[in-house]
Chain A
Amino acid sequence: MILIHLNNVPQTLQQSLSLQALLEAQNICQHSVALVLNEAVVPKHRWSSILCHHEDKIDVFAVVAGG
């Protein structure tokens, strides 16, 4: 089991997932979000090849209304 922090919420995974699989498991629409792994922006084309590790800090951002 590994522990990750997804948008500041601790989550336990039974096995390591790719970032893409993690988003799919969370039902997060992928075409309109950006992903940050341990404070570094991860390009979308790398989501499927990067696995989550214990204590990873993962943040998912989306566009919201603003001025």
Chain B
Amino acid sequence: MLTIAGVEFESRLFTGTGKFSSSQLMLESIKVSKSQLVTVAMKRIDLKTGADDLLTPLRQAGVRLLPNTSGARNAKEAIFAAELAREMLGTQWVKLEIHPDPKYLMPDAVETLAAAKILCERGFIVMPYVHADPVLCRRLEEVGCAAVMPLASPIGTNQGLVTEPFIKMIIEQAKVPVVIDAGIGAPSHAAHAMELGADAVLVNTAIASSTYPIEMAQCFKDAVDCGRRAFEAGLGRVQTQAVHTSPLTGFLQQ
């Protein structure tokens, strides 16, 4: 069972709510994925069109909400967004993300660490989205983050575990859960992340932008379950030289 900040999760697949073609499809996909932690964003409402009520159906679905600070360009804005989320949703949980660069959406390490320290001091359950930097992840853990969320590859790119060597280091060192976030584009990527020993993965684009999101949500659920079970079962060592699995006696000669 995965535990973050004292809360237990049966599912190790976290999902986002963005990019779905309809709210109904999003809700159905989340339901099928069995995800229990779901990200949402915040935005000024359009006074002319009003705001869609996402909260009611998500709460009815029984999932825990993880508001993100997307749109924040620095620590100050991210802290403000977290305070806003706490007031709006009544949750201390926050996915801290600060990515001022609009082209690659690379997280700003300096601002993220600064914001994380203050938010932790204010009692937030902070889950920072960061580059797969083992040193930074350790620093975030030291300031009190409840988990770290290193990226597999840039947000929404579906490139998979581009950062794999560094993800391995983070998993090896971390004393808090490691959630692989961003860039996971296929169920096999998710399974691989879990086989490496990640505690969970967060998937949004790969489900939402697939041709059949509900089916894809099921695929990711199965992949995450399978990858975790494989990790727990214990994968064999990778060798460079062949190692026989059958007796090497000369069959015809002896």
Contact = CB atoms under 8 A, between A and B. Distances in A.
A67 B108 CA distance: 17
B84 A66 contact: no
- The contact size tier of chain A is 20 to 34
Interface stretch (B17-25, B132-140, B170-178): B17-25
B43 A32 contact: no
A63 B63 CA distance: 15
B45 interface: yes
A63 B84 contact: no
Contact of B42 (A7, A31, A63): A63
A26 interface: yes
B26 interface: yes
Nearest to B85: A34
B84 A6 contact: no
Contact of A32 (B19, B41, B56, B202): B56
A32 B42 CA distance: 11
B84 A65 contact: no
A13 interface: no
Given A28-B50, A29-B53, A62-B51, A67 B67 contact: no
A61 B54 CA distance: 13
A62 B52 CA distance: 9
A64 interface: yes
B200 to A, nearest CB: 15
Given A7-B44, A65-B18, 13 more contacts: A7-B45, A32-B54, A33-B51, A33-B88, A41-B83, A60-B47, A63-B40, A65-B17, A65-B26, A66-B39, A66-B70, A67-B39, A67-B204
